[in-house]
Structure 1
Amino acid sequence: MTDKPNAPNHALIPFGQHVAKLRKNLGISQEELSGRCGLDRTYISGIERGKRNLSLTNVFKLAKALDVPPKVLLDYPEEVVSHDN
């Protein structure tokens, strides 16, 4: 069985939720985060929705833009946290 293109990957969803939480804690938009790390805003959106599998290079870019060490970016709960939007 293969995944549908751009379908959320259940291994990436909690990571994306963690990125979104860190971004929101800073009070910045996806657009601002995009500018800080040099990644497209739609790519940031895909990360936060669990649709993008980042390279290590992009993990480091995101961590720097979020002003956290990479290990903090990668230290997140494994289960999906549901939230109302």
Structure 2
Amino acid sequence: MKRDNQLFYETQVGTVTSEIVINFLDKYCQNIQKKTVIIIDQASIHTSDAFIEKLEEWEKKNLKIFWLPTYSPHLNLIEIL
């Protein structure tokens, strides 16, 4: 969510894979105007080889990925829901 409460999202029926997350972030990169940080957990879909390979490309498009520390559900708001 942006500071002005804009939210970029997609819904997914079934299993979310690394490929789905990568495609989503590729689309998201097309819409950002300034440096953007996305905070994610260290689920396997966020740490796959394919995901890691995209980091440099996304950074060139002003998208920075920040991982939460391992085993820190207290920092991951989705774990509280």
Q: TM-score, with normalisation over the residues of structure 2?
A: 0.30
Which structure has more strand as a fraction of its residues? 2
Which structure has more helix as a fraction of its residues? 1
Query: Which structure would you say has the larger Rg?
Result: 2
Q: TM-score, with normalisation over the residues of structure 1?
A: 0.30
